[in-house]
Amino acid sequence: MKRLLDAQELRELVVLSSAYFVASASFVAMKTTDTAIIGHVGTRFLDATAYSDLYTASTGVLIQGRVLGVFCSQAFGAGNYDLVNTWLKVSCVFVGALAVPVTASWLLTPQALSSFGVPPRPRRDAGLYARILCACIPARVGFNQLSQYFTAQKVTRPSYVSVAAVAANAALGLGLVFGARLGFAACPAVTSAVEYVQLVGILLFFGRPTPATLSDVTRARLAEFAGLYVPAVLAVASDFWRLSAVGAIAATISQDSLGVFNASYRIMWLTLTIAGSLGAAVGTKVAIALGANEPRKARRLARLGISLAVSLLFFMALLVFAIPRQLALVFTSDENLVKKFVDARSLISAAVFFMNLAVVLERVPVACGRTRLVFVCGFVASWLVQTPAVYCCVTFWRRDLRAVYLGVALGYAALSLLYAALLFTSDFDAYAFEATLRSEVHASTQQRDDDDGGGGYRPLRDDDDDCEDNVLPLKPTNRAVE
């Protein structure tokens, strides 16, 4: 019986991982397409978009907390289906409010870049790019919240809207930028338009909204949401600035060292698309089990997912070690840069393994609602281990890419150890109790009437035979989907 249960859980992990992978891979594909189109418009615009991305990413982290899935999964597991809707509204209100200062900061991109000494011409181009791109922020916030809302209930098909967005991005980009000869200004306009295509697609094809009030978006729930969201955002921001610091150290080695580092790091992020998708699926399953007050099942799911991830990561690290030249040629044709990448392949492979392992391990405490501890672990590993390790290796060992990646690998290894210690000392019974409180199972879990703030999307039941094949009905109901 246990083997049958594990086989069923493994199947669900694969299905969920596939959905997360499609969404992540689609995002990477769109970014790659955007970069390629901009590069063909003019080389100077690549520098401008790099400046723009560097600044907008530093403030855009405010809307990248992505903890709605924890709340929705736990409420879904607890059977409080109306609360799943409520958390969606809470998230939209909270993240929507944060989007206001983010939008304002993007509009002030030229002024911000001027304070950093960016030359006038790339500053103007970067400002134009950021100001047009800020139009996509409402759509990005809405799509991200709805994506988390659906996947938290194991509804995977909405994630495949991203595939259509990739095709739309390529078609509009080529048609408007080159066909209509609208030039550089059309690039961010296309990106913004595609963000709205995704939002409209997920609304039209996977759910039919009904009028809903905000009476259930209370201060207490906003405070509960902020308690998990703020540490998650701080963790993302810390990781962003840590990467910038490591890149700055790499840039001091030689003129082309930063380019080699950036190209090699893109390969690491490509592997992260796979491992990160598995980690997200594990987190969703664990959160649902905790909400259902099944701590033993949550612990078993965590072990199953981590075991699967370790096996996968060994294969990916071995692949990076075996074909470094072929991987490097994806991003550069410069033989000197390729040689530097090949020389550092063993340490890059180690960094790939530990970075992805840390990401997978992180998803379990996040699913348990321990975002504060995740932030502390990430801060310690980033600023007290990895960044000093990179600096010391470059300064006192050797000034090349191997020294950089030794420090990077040490930092991620330390982070993996911290997360492992956190998991070994985790009290899943206590986390399950907290999840049931967060899911308000002490209150009535019966579906509310439409006039009681329960409108919106009707979450799918955990016992639905094939929840992915169902379209959400017009209003909440007590019966399972037929």
pLDDT at res. 453: 38
For range 77-103, the mean pLDDT: 94
Rounded distance between C-alpha atoms, residue 34 and residue 28, angstroms: 10
Give CA separation, 13 vs 20, 282, 309, 388, in Å: 10, 7, 11, 37
pLDDT at res. 124: 92
Q: In the predicted model, is pLDDT for residue 14 greater than 80?
A: yes
CB 250 within 8 A of CB 258: yes
Rounded distance between C-alpha atoms, residue 273 and residue 282, angstroms: 14
pLDDT at res. 252: 84
Instruction: Tell me the whole-structure pTM to 2 decimals.
Output: 0.85
Report the range of poorest mean pLDDT among 90-99, 205-214, 236-245, 271-280.
205-214
Rounded distance between C-alpha atoms, residue 287 and residue 148, angstroms: 13
Q: In the predicted model, is pLDDT for residue 477 greater than 50?
A: no
For 59, the token pair is 């403030």
Side-chain half-sphere CA neighbours of 314 within 13 A: 5
For 270, the token pair is 């490509």
Rounded distance between C-alpha atoms, residue 261 and residue 251, angstroms: 9
DSSP summary character for residue 480? P
pLDDT at res. 138: 95
Report the range of poorest mean pLDDT among 3-7, 26-30, 212-216, 274-278.
3-7
Residue-averaged pLDDT of the chain:
84
Q: What is the pLDDT of residues 174-192, one digit of tens each?
A: 888 887 788 888 889 999 9
Report the range of poorest mean pLDDT among 58-62, 113-117, 260-264, 337-341.
260-264
Residue 316 CA from chain centroid, whole number: 20
CB 281 within 8 A of CB 322: no
Name the maximum alpha-carbon separation found in the chain.
68
CB 473 within 8 A of CB 458: yes
pLDDT at res. 283: 94
CB 331 within 8 A of CB 270: no
Q: Smallest Cα–Cα separation from 224: which of 64, 82, 86, 361?
A: 86
pLDDT at res. 270: 80
DSSP summary character for residue 474? S
Q: Which residues of 350-382 are buried (b: 16+ CB within 10 A; e: fewer)?
A: bbbbbbbbbbbbbbbbbbbbbbbbbbbbbeebb
Q: In the predicted model, is pLDDT for residue 473 greater than 70?
A: no
